Amino acid sequence: MADRTDKLLLVGDNPFHNISHLSQDRTKLRDRSVVDPSYAAGLVMTSLDNGANGFMFSVSETTLSILERVRNAERIEDLSLFAIVPYAYEYVRLAAQTGGIVGLAKVFSKQLASSGSFRAIASGASGLLGANPVSLLKTYLAYEIGRIKSSAGKHAKIESVLLHEIVVDMALALNLDWLFKAYIDFVIKHEYTPGFNTCNFPYLVDKFNGWGIDPAKVIIAAPFNRIGFEMNPSREECERALKGLSEPCLIAISILAAGYLRPDDAMEYIASLPNVKGAAVGVSKEKHARETFRLFNSKF
């Protein structure tokens, strides 16, 4: 097993969902085996053997299947889990197929009902009837955490539950400080670290400071890379906000700028930044997994 370091070196799940932020063309050229949960679980374990110490994933049927396989291989305890909810793509697609947000609410209600959790059903119904967003959020989070535990098993180390960028950035735009605070309270109560995935890192840090939320007490997953790809409003602003943090809380994502940068170039930049708690990187081949995490482990 790889040596533990202070830094988090996380396997990202984008390739397992066949996502490339460079271009969709690229996903068509990829070997399709990467979306097979057994193959993907093998990649996660190879990454572990070469320096990775965690897995950052959107909670979906694919990633839950991967966790099941890692558990069956008795490696789940080696893995710190950073779960992102919701798997926005699936919900957006469901909304498209079911005629919008009301249709989506109906589908989710059915999913909740079939979960068999009386508490979740009662809380969800109460949230819907009372039009209570916080109650619904808590119901939803409990449902997703239940799914992770069910697949990863009771020995799994869920370190953090992160809100997906779509939810975070919408809530930021609408100044929903009460939603962030309710989320943080709920996640801390379950003894996980609250996390936030955002495409607007400086905006989030500024808002959190204004709302009395200490950014250093949470995990923030945001794009950081040498060419400033997806770093809004600019690389310089993101770096300035990062420097202003009191403690490391950033998990850098998109560090390879979706495959645009070479891993050694990418790592050199990330290693030069202050307040970086870790980085997540996706791998789609055994060779990538070995080389990338060895390099990161040595340089980070």
Residue ranges in contact with another protein by CB under 8 A: 17-19, 22-25, 27-28, 89, 92-93, 95-103, 105, 128, 131-133, 165-166, 169-170, 173-176, 199-200, 203, 227-234, 257-258, 260
Q: Contact, 16 vs 257, CB < 8 A?
A: no
Q: Contact, 128 vs 108, CB < 8 A?
A: no
Helix spans in the chain (H): 24-29, 37-49, 61-72, 88-98, 101-114, 118-129, 133-152, 165-173, 177-189, 201-211, 235-243, 263-271, 286-299
Q: How far is the CB of 231 from another protein (least distance, A)?
A: 7
Q: How far is the CB of 160 from another protein (least distance, A)?
A: 22
Q: How many Cβ atoms are within 10 Å of 97's Cβ, its own excluded?
A: 11
Q: How far is the CB of 179 from another protein (least distance, A)?
A: 9
Q: Select 93 or 287, whichever has its Cβ closest to another protein.
A: 93
CA–CA distance, 38 with 41 (Å, rounded to integer): 5
Q: How far is the CB of 106 from another protein (least distance, A)?
A: 10
Q: How far is the CB of 34 from another protein (least distance, A)?
A: 13
Q: Contact, 163 vs 59, CB < 8 A?
A: no
Q: How far is the CB of 207 from another protein (least distance, A)?
A: 11
Dihedral pair phi/psi, residue 282, rounded to 5°: -90, 145
Residue (of 48, 36, 69, 43) closest to 4 by Cα position: 48
Q: Select 128 or 216, whichever has its Cβ closest to another protein.
A: 128
Dihedral pair phi/psi, residue 162, rounded to 5°: -110, 140
Q: Select 1 or 102, whichever has its Cβ closest to another protein.
A: 102
Q: Select 237 or 286, whichever has its Cβ closest to another protein.
A: 237
